[in-house]
Structure 1
């Protein structure tokens, strides 16, 4: 990940952390091309149709501004098993055993390709989130259709 993409990543993560502290859970995408746009959607985690609609709108904006890089991030609940990573939408319900809240992110840079990662966080007894540093996956990741950013990536680059 180059410095410009890392700067954009920290901007998006910072925005999402502030939203989570305010008890909001939007999906956020920052697109940088001929100009920079930041889009958010509070219905993203509601259902698959809402998620797909937001990513499709974001892809249209990415093409409109000739985006050369973007960051997509959304809060989720993760359950990591020896074989798989499961994720679900965040909610007001307590976490189940083994679950952890995290900001899931995907980055795209025209010269460096796609990276994936997360920002795990825990909550103090009063509910205040405490965020870790962003992590980038160092193992090969093949995004599934339900992964945040997948529709955006496919709309921008159908052969990826």
Structure 2
């Protein structure tokens, strides 16, 4: 990840951390073109259709403004097992055994490609979140269709026959 993309990642993560501390849970995408455009969506975690609609709108903006890099960050709950990583939308319910809250992020840079990572966090007894530093996955990631950023990437990069998958 180059310095410009890393700076954008830290900006987006900081924005989302402030929202989480305020007990809000939007998805945030920052698009870098000639100027920075930041979009957020509070319905993203409601269901897959709301998430796909937001990512589709973001992809339309990527093309409209000619963005060369972007970061999408979403608050989620993770469960890491020896074989897989499971994620789900955050809710007001307590965490189950082994679950951890995290900001899931996906970055794209025209020169560097795609990276994925997370920002794990815990909560003090008062409910105040304490965030770790962003982590980037160093192993190959094969994102599932429901992973944040999947629709955005598919909409920005049509499949091999030139068809837009929407």
TM-score (norm: length of structure 1):
0.98
Q: Cα deviation per residue 1:125-152 (whole Å; 9 max; x = unaligned)?
A: 0100000000000000011110001100
Unaligned runs of 5+ in 2: 161-166
Task: Please state how far the C-alpha of 1:157 moved relative to its aligned partner.
Answer: 1.1
Offset of residue 158 of structure 1: 2.2
Q: Give the match for residue 15 of structure 1.
A: 15
Name the counterpart of 2:63: 63
| Residue number in structure 2 paired with 1:87 | 87
Which structure 1 segments of 5+ residues have no match? none
SS at match of 2:91: coil
Alignment length (residue pairs): 160
CA RMSD of aligned residues (A): 0.9
**TM-score normalised to the size of structure 2?**
0.95
Q: Which residue of 1 aligns with 2:163?
A: none
Secondary structure, counterpart of 2:6 in structure 1: helix
**Structure 2 counterpart SS, 1:139:** coil
Give distance in 2, aligned partners of 1:158 and 1:97.
39
TM-fit CA distance, 1:26: 0.2
Residue deviations 1:23-65, cap 9 Å, x none? Answer: 0000000001132210000000000110000000000000001
Give every structure 1 segment of 4 or more consecutive aligned residues whose post-TM-superposition deviation is greater than 2 Å. Answer: none
Matches of 1:35 and 1:65, distance apart in 2: 9
Aligned to 2:164: none
Compare 31-40 and 69-78 and name the one that shifted more.
31-40
CA distance in 2, matches of 1:145, 1:129: 29
